[in-house]
Amino acid sequence: MASTGGETVYLTLRARILSGELGANAVLREQALAEELGVSRTPVREALRRLDEAGLVSFVPNRGATVVEWSLEQVRETYIVRAALESRAAGLAATRITVAELDQLSDLIDAMEPVVAATDPDGVTELGRLNAEFHRIVVSASRSAQLITLTSSVARVPLMAEAFRRDGVQFRARSNHQHRDILTALRSGDSLWAEVAMRSHVLAARNAVAEG
């Protein structure tokens, strides 16, 4: 089980990789990260091990950990897997999600709206964070331990942040509109609708990233 310190370092580094702040082939050295984050090397080592297991970093002899560079084929395959897992989770969530969780999703959608037009890196990073939280809540609402575990093991492709930057307001607005469709389906309790809405959303993101 991850320590509290290791979990914090892991989430911090994971967010920086997924936002694109730590780009492909960036070298992650234990000592430098420990000093930057104000922790010992042990939680950093633990975090890097988990990032390696998640497919976000790889270890190179005498160099330490480096951020993985994704091929176009890997990007496509990852989104296909995510579409299958998250659509199933949304289908289950339609009949299991709580009112509180629905309200959380609604709040996240509203919070994403002001960031849709952001042009600064911080705004794009915040949009990515809110987007990831939206998906996490939907999967959690499935109440399926297996789906939650499987989904968390599939890395959210770092290139999503690049799509947010490259394709601008139109892509972001479309993505958040799809979030509203998913929320409406979940509120209706219609499992098939929720499943289709989530699958369409994830595959649309795949196309935006893979074709850029």
Which helix H or strand E contains 144, and what residues bound it?
A: none
Query: Other C-beta atoms within 10 Å of 151: how many?
Result: 23
pLDDT tens digit sequence for 162-208: 555 555 677 788 999 999 999 999 999 999 999 999 999 999 888 87
Please check whether residue 39 is in contact with residue 4, taking contact to mean a CB–CB distance below 8 angstroms. no
- Total residue length of the chain: 212
Which domains, and CATH codes, for the chain? 4-67 (1.10.10.10), 72-210 (1.20.120.530)
Task: Write the single-letter amino acid at 193.
Answer: W
Please give the pLDDT value at position 165. Answer: 56
Residue 22's H or E segment, with its range, is none
Tokens 């994704």 correspond to what residue? 70
Residue 38 φ then ψ, to 5°? 70, 35
Long-range contacts at 39-43 (CB < 8 A, ≥ 24 apart):
39/5, 39/9, 40/5, 42/3, 42/5, 42/6, 43/3, 43/5, 43/6, 43/8, 43/9
What is the predicted pLDDT for the residue at 1? 43
Prediction pTM value: 0.76
CB atoms within 10 A of CB 80: 13
**Residue 204 tokens, joined:** 């649309």
The rounded distance, in Å, linking the Cα atoms of 50 and 2 is 9
Helix (H) or strand (E) holding 55: none
Q: Are 198 and 182 in contact (CB under 8 A)?
A: yes
Cβ neighbours of 123 (radius 10 Å): 17
> Residue 207: its pLDDT value, please?
80
Report, in this order, helix, strand and coil percent for the chain, each rounded to 5.
75, 5, 25
pLDDT at 212: 56
State the 10-residue block means of pLDDT for the chain, 212 residues long.
72 80 87 94 93 85 82 82 96 98 98 86 80 93 95 66 60 92 98 98 82 60
